[in-house]
């Protein structure tokens, strides 16, 4: 009589318990927290350095340089530009620049009422985005901008914020800053821009790739005239005091 072989039983693998998964989740959260702290620390360091060192290369400028090749940019101190340049930009982009702490609540409410986003973005927000963040309309970028802008206002003076904007803002295809725009479109340095020329460059800021200040159409001429009037107004009523000597 032969013995029948013993039947082998299959071992069932148990699903990992919830307690076994927790360390992995905690580790991921820990690493994410450390990454966030490192990013915050880097931002603070760059912010402090930016008070004294000119940020000549921004993420967007670098991206355009990789896309287009050589770009036009010349860093010029705000005091070496025609005074009409700073006034024109403030009149065009953020008339209450000297009166807010990074966000123009009145402009935000007006933009919401009229379904517009452009008028709600202050110069401080634009500088924060241009120097430290990326372009686009993602909620993450907007959230970071909202957190970082008041810190920028706290560390940098209004004059410094405006000076950086005047040097990193896109003013044409592959053109950054007002001095580069002045030389490209009008063959003069920013120090020799007229009030009309400065207003024309400021008028292209919402669409620097699609508008040409040297060949303005009817809309651009009309917008430049409005900016000139606005520049005169903010000079007269004291809203230029925070960035003028």
The set of residues, in sequence order, having a beta carbon less than 8 Å from that of 238 and lying 6+ positions away, is 98
For residues 10-14, average pLDDT: 56
- CATH architecture of the domain with range 56-236: Orthogonal Bundle (1.10)
Q: Residue 44's pLDDT is what?
A: 83
Output 97-102 pairs: Cβ under 8 A, ≥24 positions apart.
Answer: 97/122, 97/123, 97/124, 97/158, 97/162, 97/239, 97/242, 97/243, 98/158, 98/238, 98/239, 98/240, 98/241, 98/242, 98/243, 99/239, 100/124, 101/150, 101/153, 102/149, 102/150, 102/152, 102/153
* Domain coordinates in residue numbering, the chain: 24-53, 56-236
Residue 96 contacts residue 106 (beta carbons within 8 Å): yes
Q: Which residues pair with 175 in a beta bridge?
A: 72, 172
Q: Report pLDDT digits (tens) over 154-183.
A: 999 999 999 999 999 999 999 999 999 999
Q: Residue 56's pLDDT is what?
A: 86
Which DSSP string do the residues of 24-68 spell out, in sequence order? Answer: HHHHHHHHHHHHHHHHHHHHHHHHHHHTTS-----HHHHHHHHHH
State the residue for tokens 């950054």: 176
Q: Report pLDDT digits (tens) over 201-221.
A: 999 999 999 999 999 999 999
Which pTM does this prediction carry?
0.85
For residues 224-242, average pLDDT: 97
Q: Report pLDDT digits (tens) over 111-155.
A: 676 665 555 799 999 999 999 999 888 899 999 999 999 999 999
Backbone torsion region of residue 238, taken as left when φ is above 0, otherwise alpha when ψ lies between -120 and 50, otherwise beta: left
Residue 135 contacts residue 60 (beta carbons within 8 Å): yes
Backbone torsion region of residue 102, taken as left when φ is above 0, otherwise alpha when ψ lies between -120 and 50, otherwise beta: left
């Amino acid at each position: 009589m032969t013995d029948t072989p013993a039947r082998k039983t299959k071992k069932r693998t148990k699903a990992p318990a919830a307690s076994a998964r927790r360390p992995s989740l905690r580790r991921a959260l820990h690493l994410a927290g450390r990454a966030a702290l490192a990013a915050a620390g880097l931002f603070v360091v760059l912010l402090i350095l930016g008070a004294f060192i000119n940020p000549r290369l921004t993420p967007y400028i670098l991206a355009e340089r990789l896309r287009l090749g050589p770009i036009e940019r010349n860093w010029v101190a705000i005091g070496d530009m025609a005074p009409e340049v700073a006034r024109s930009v403030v009149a065009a982009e953020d008339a209450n620049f000297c009166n807010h702490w990074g966000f123009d609540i009145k402009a935000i409410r007006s933009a919401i009422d009229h379904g517009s986003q452009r008028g709600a973005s202050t110069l401080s927000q634009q500088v924060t985005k241009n120097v430290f963040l990326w372009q686009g309309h993602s909620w993450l970028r907007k959230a970071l901008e909202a957190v970082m802008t008041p810190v920028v206002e706290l560390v940098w003076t209004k004059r410094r914020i405006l000076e950086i904007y005047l040097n990193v803002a896109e003013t044409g295809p592959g053109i950054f800053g007002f001095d580069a725009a002045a030389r490209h479109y009008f063959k003069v340095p920013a120090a020799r821009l007229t009030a009309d020329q400065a207003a024309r460059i400021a008028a292209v800021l919402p669409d620097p790739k699609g508008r040409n200040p040297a060949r303005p159409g009817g809309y651009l001429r009309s917008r430049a005239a409005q900016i000139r009037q606005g520049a005169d107004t903010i000079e007269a009523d004291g809203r230029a005091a925070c960035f003028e000597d």
